[in-house]
Amino acid sequence: MSRIGKLPINLPAGVTVTVSKENLITVKGPKGELSQEVNPDIKVSIEDGVLSVTRPTDEKAHRAMHGLYRSLINNMIVGVSEGYRKEMELIGVGYRASNAGQLLELSLGYTHNIHMMLPPEIKLETKSERNKAPLIILESCDKQLIGQVCAKIRSFRKPEPYKGKGIRFVGEVIRRKSGKAAGK
- Per residue in 145-164, pLDDT (tens digit) is 999 999 999 999 999 999 99
pLDDT score of 126: 95
Q: Percentage of the chain with pLDDT > 70?
A: 97
Distance CA 133, CA 110 (A): 18
**Do residues 76 and 27 touch, judged by C-beta distance below 8 A?**
yes
The span from the CA of 26 to the CA of 36, in Å, is 7
Report helix angle 60-81 to 143-155, nearest 10: 90
Q: Does position 141 have pLDDT exceeding 60, yes or no?
A: yes
Say what the pLDDT of residue 181 is: 73
Q: What is the model's pLDDT at position 1?
A: 52
Domain 84-169: give its CATH code. Answer: 3.90.930.12
Do 84-169 and 9-81 have the same topology in CATH?
yes
> Residue 36 — very low, low, confident or very high, per pLDDT cuts 50/70/90?
very high
Full-model pTM: 0.89
Task: For residue 102, report the phi and psi dihedrals to the nearest 5 degrees.
Answer: -100, 5
pLDDT at 122 over 90: yes
Mean pLDDT of the chain: 92
What are the sequence ranges of the domains in the chain? Answer: 9-81, 84-169
Find the mean pLDDT for residues 89-118: 95
pLDDT of residue 183: 55
- pLDDT score, position 38: 94
Reply yes or no on whether the pLDDT at 184 is more than 70.
no
112 pLDDT higher than 60: yes
Report whether pLDDT(2) > 70.
no
- Name the residue among 52, 24, 53 with its Cα closest to residue 38: 24
Structural domain 9-81, CATH architecture: Alpha-Beta Complex (3.90)
pLDDT at 66: 93
Which residue in 33, 37, 38, 4 sits closest to 16, CA to CA?
33
What is the reported pLDDT for 22?
A: 85
According to the model, what pLDDT value does residue 156 have? 96
Q: Where are the alpha helices (DSSP H) in the chain?
A: 60-81, 143-155
